[in-house]
Amino acid sequence: MTTRFTDPVRFTDPVRTVIPHTLARHLADACDDSVEGHTWSARNIAAARAIWAEDTAGAVPAALGRHTSRTEPDARGWTVLALPARMDDATLMRVAAAALSTLGAPFTSIDAGTGLWIGGETRPDADAASFGGTGAQGLHIDAPNVEHVPDYTALLVLRPDPAGGGASLIGDLRAALAETPECDRELLRRPVYFEGRADRLSGVGAPRLPFPILEHLDPGGRERVRWAAKAVTDPRNSAHRAVLKRFDATLARHTRAVALGRGQLMVCDQTRIAHGRTALGEQSGLADGTRRVLMQTKVAYDASAPAHNLHTAAGDRRG
């Protein structure tokens, strides 16, 4: 028996698409937390996509596809889905995975022993600029130094910073690249750059160290920007620091901040968007169990996924 949804999909602002509670509940009940290797299980993906294929539910993947389309030059390359905040944490993560299945196969490249999602509560003793730290985090794409950069990255807020900080930063890589002179592009295409390490990762191929900041992405001539702000200060890049600083400054001019609340899922196409964060607020008076909780996973592109096809179908109907 097919369940039909009567809750309208609400568009609260140009950034956030709301997933109604009835739809979210049905997705959560149809799926579980099982993974196969590092990827959300095929059964889960099929169950979620069957629900997204229904007429009313299809409005959400269509919106997701419209914002992250790789075929429309005006698509911004990122969006935020607002899940029902009153759901518990485990249910929110399951619904978020179901939402991501509209783009492809959700997976984790890091074996943390926690299933599909990595992350948790902010730790005051962590490196301030790290994923779980309290300081600002420079713009970057996840895993810029591997053979197969993850197609999408996704961040789910389970508890926002009670001190009011930690806004997400969105940097438009293509806009920055459009303002980068050809002489700098030539320098950035050289496979001479380093950033971090690429140890014990899954689903992303072999490490690439060093790697090019710019590389051709497809036969049409588009280029991927393998960007990480930490490359600017990495001592291994000392001979190339000037061009890295110039690109960093250009990208800063095409960056905006987005505050995320509980249950909000930010999705970024890593061929277009770099992400980061502002510093969290003052943490010294916050007890354990009250600090920000942020989870992350990734998605491998699947051309047959609902967001790509429902978006195309919606465009055909409009035409």
Instruction: Give the start-to-end residue ranges of the domains of the chain.
Output: 16-312
Per-residue pLDDT tens for 38-90?
999 999 999 999 999 997 899 899 989 999 988 777 889 999 999 999 999 99
The pLDDT value given to residue 8: 35
Question: What pTM does this model have?
Answer: 0.91
- Where would I find the beta strands (DSSP E) of the chain? 16-18, 35-36, 39-40, 78-82, 104-107, 118-121, 137-140, 152-159, 168-172, 214-216, 223-225, 255-258, 264-269, 273-277, 293-301
Per-residue pLDDT tens for 81-137?
999 999 999 999 999 999 999 999 999 988 766 789 999 999 999 999 999 999 999
Closest-CA residue to 276 (of 177, 131, 179): 131
Mean pLDDT of 17-25: 95
CATH number of 16-312: 3.60.130.10
For tokens 């505050």, the residue is: 259
Per-residue pLDDT tens for 221-275?
688 999 999 999 999 999 999 999 999 999 999 999 999 999 999 999 999 999 9
Exposed, middle or buried, 159 (CB in 10 Å: 0-12/13-18/19+)? middle
CA distance 16 to 68: 13
Closest-CA residue to 102 (of 66, 155, 144): 66
